[in-house]
Amino acid sequence: MSQAGEEAVQGVKLERARILIIDDDRAFRVGTGALLADEGYEVDAAASGDEGLERLAGGDYELVLLDLKMAGRTGLSVLEEIRRSGNGIPVLMLTGFGSVDTAVQALKLGADDYITKPCDNQVLRSKIRVILARRAPVLGAGASRIIGRSGEMRDVLKAIERVAQTESTVLVRGATGTGKELVARAIHEESPRRKRPFMAVNCSALSEGILESELFGHARGAFTGAVADRKGLFEEANGGTVFLDEIGDVSSTMQAKLLRVLQEREVTRVGTAKTLPVDVRVIAATHRDLEEMVENGDFRADLYFRLKVFQIRIPDLRHRPTDLAALASTAIGRWNDGLRDPSRRVAGFSEETLEVLQAYDWPGNVRELMAAMEHACIVCDGNRILPHHLPSDVRDPQPEALLPAESRSLDAARRYQAPDSDQEKVAILKALEEAEGNRTRAAAMLGMGRTTLWQKLKAYGLDHY
């Protein structure tokens, strides 16, 4: 495993993960158990397949090391029983050098990976880290199950926990595809309003007239087609939460009406003058720079201050690379759950695939990653996703097409080339600054591949950029 790949999974290693060793070789159980304990894992061991199944039934483990050939019940039989019971725990098969074909059969039965005995300790540690990263249980808040183990996402989860029990208005900030609605749902599910409705609307998808009717309702005859009185989302969500996605796209007229709802806690249906009290919590979200919009007169300052009582900022996916393994694993799990043909199940992805995912910039964020992994599952011709299964724009993007013509010229690329490491580091920082942090564009400016740039960022301690 490459240094980049190992560093990528180290960031998502489970804290004090519990590992069960099932092997009839006492020396292996003792020696490997001591090795893993030194790594910080909690280790348990079973001397037979039946004992191992008993321990699994009564214990909470994150990984199983399972010997393929044991006296009595074989490793394949144990694996089949684990999967037949619906237990999705990761399984790393242990096999002798001459039993690789049987190990491949184990992969088809649902094992996550295999390693030959005697085990290389470094390889064993790396495989365990990779498997735990792929299958790391998501950190969640409420029903939305927010996925992320990076420091940035832990901060998001702490913010959700902190604000959920209050009645405060929340403004969720983040680029398109980062999961702003998931955060809003998490806040609702963790709040005292969880048993009441959660109503969401994308403000940018509706015209002003339709949006007003959708939010506030209308009276019969208020406009053509209004054949009956109709409640709006604020009334439907009474006692619950209303989520206003892309709040930065609403008109000035709607801004004024939303401000009144926040101030007075009442709505007026279209076509009437009667006000109706509503008890809702408002969570809004936007990818826009509201501060700049306020300064330019495009967004009401009073509404902005009403909305920003408590803000949660979701980082772009490119700023949280250690979350990629868990997110990609979740996408594969969704694919497997929707299959009618179990032979199409995908067990996971290779270390090389993880490195490709780490190197890509993900301009579409989590939404783009989920789509890319679904594509990979569709074209996967085995049980493991390899780099060539990923969409071409992910595994081999064409960054030059993203740049202005003058930056694509040879002279523009040469601007960033440097004869020594210090100058190269400065050149990389300059390119990243001009590319506004977009690594794909910066790599094109530097005249190097994005993977090369990723490796240099690691070497120079600049991987946080």
Q: What percent of the chain has pLDDT over 70?
A: 85
- Would you say residue 104 has pLDDT above 90? no
Least confident of 126-130, 212-216, 422-426: 422-426
The pLDDT tens digits for 335-351 are 887 888 878 888 889 88
Helical pair 121-135 and 351-359, crossing angle rounded to 10 deg? 60
Q: 44 pairs with which residues across the strands?
A: 20
- Would you say residue 139 has pLDDT above 70? no
Provide the pLDDT for residue 164: 93
Q: What percent of the chain has pLDDT over 90?
A: 38
Check: CB of residue 186 under 8 Å from CB of residue 147.
no
Residue type, 289: D
Give domain 3-133's CATH number out of 2.40.37.10, 3.40.605.10, 3.40.50.720, 3.40.50.2300: 3.40.50.2300
Residues of the chain with CATH 3.40.50.300: 151-313
> SS in 3 state form for 212-237?
HHHHHCECCCCCCCCCCCECCHHHHC
The pLDDT tens digits for 273-325 are 888 999 999 999 999 999 999 999 999 999 999 999 999 999 999 888 888 88
Provide the pLDDT for residue 99: 62
| Fold assignment, 151-313 | Rossmann fold (3.40.50)
What mean pLDDT is reported for the chain?
A: 82
Distance CA 362, CA 365 (A): 5
Predicted confidence band of residue 457 (pLDDT cuts 50, 70, 90):
confident
Provide the pLDDT for residue 9: 34
Distance CA 231, CA 383 (A): 50
Check: CB of residue 444 under 8 Å from CB of residue 408.
yes
Provide the pLDDT for residue 445: 75
Check: CB of residue 345 under 8 Å from CB of residue 383.
yes
Write out the two tokens for 448.
């190097």
Distance CA 5, CA 129 (A): 10
pLDDT, average across residues 418-433: 72
Distance CA 299, CA 292 (A): 9
Its CATH class, for the domain covering 320-394, is mainly alpha
Residue type, 426: V
Residues of the chain with CATH 1.10.10.60: 399-459
Closest CA to 173 of 293, 334, 327: 293
Least confident of 4-18, 46-60, 111-125, 334-348: 4-18
Distance CA 427, CA 117 (A): 47
pTM: 0.59
Closest CA to 64 of 89, 85, 34: 89
Provide the pLDDT for residue 119: 87
Q: Where are the beta strands (DSSP E) in 17-106?
A: 18-22, 42-46, 63-67, 91-96
Residue for token pair 């076509």: 271
Residues of the chain with CATH 3.40.50.2300: 3-133
Residues of the chain with CATH 1.10.8.60: 320-394
In our burial notation (b when 16+ CB lie closer than 10 A, e otherwise), range 342-363 reads eeebbbbbbbebbbbbbbbbbb
How many alpha carbons fall within 13 Å on the CB side of residue 283?
28
Closest CA to 79 of 69, 353, 131: 69
Provide the pLDDT for residue 8: 32
pLDDT, average across residues 154-165: 90
- Would you say residue 174 has pLDDT above 90? yes
Provide the pLDDT for residue 429: 83
- Would you say residue 140 has pLDDT above 60? no
Closest CA to 234 of 255, 219, 212, 206: 212
Provide the pLDDT for residue 259: 95
- Would you say residue 28 has pLDDT above 50? yes
Considering the domain delimited by 399-459, tell me its CATH architecture: Orthogonal Bundle (1.10)
The pLDDT tens digits for 257-270 are 999 999 999 998 88
- Would you say residue 411 has pLDDT above 70? no
Predicted confidence band of residue 398 (pLDDT cuts 50, 70, 90):
low
Annotate 346-384 with DSSP letters as a single string: --EE-HHHHHHHHHS--TTHHHHHHHHHHHHHHH--SSE
Provide the pLDDT for residue 277: 93
Write out the two tokens for 420.
């020594």
pLDDT, average across residues 367-396: 91
Closest CA to 64 of 350, 353, 85, 72: 85
Distance CA 250, CA 270 (A): 17
- Would you say residue 234 has pLDDT above 80? yes
Helical pair 450-459 and 351-359, crossing angle rounded to 10 deg? 90
pLDDT, average across residues 177-189: 92
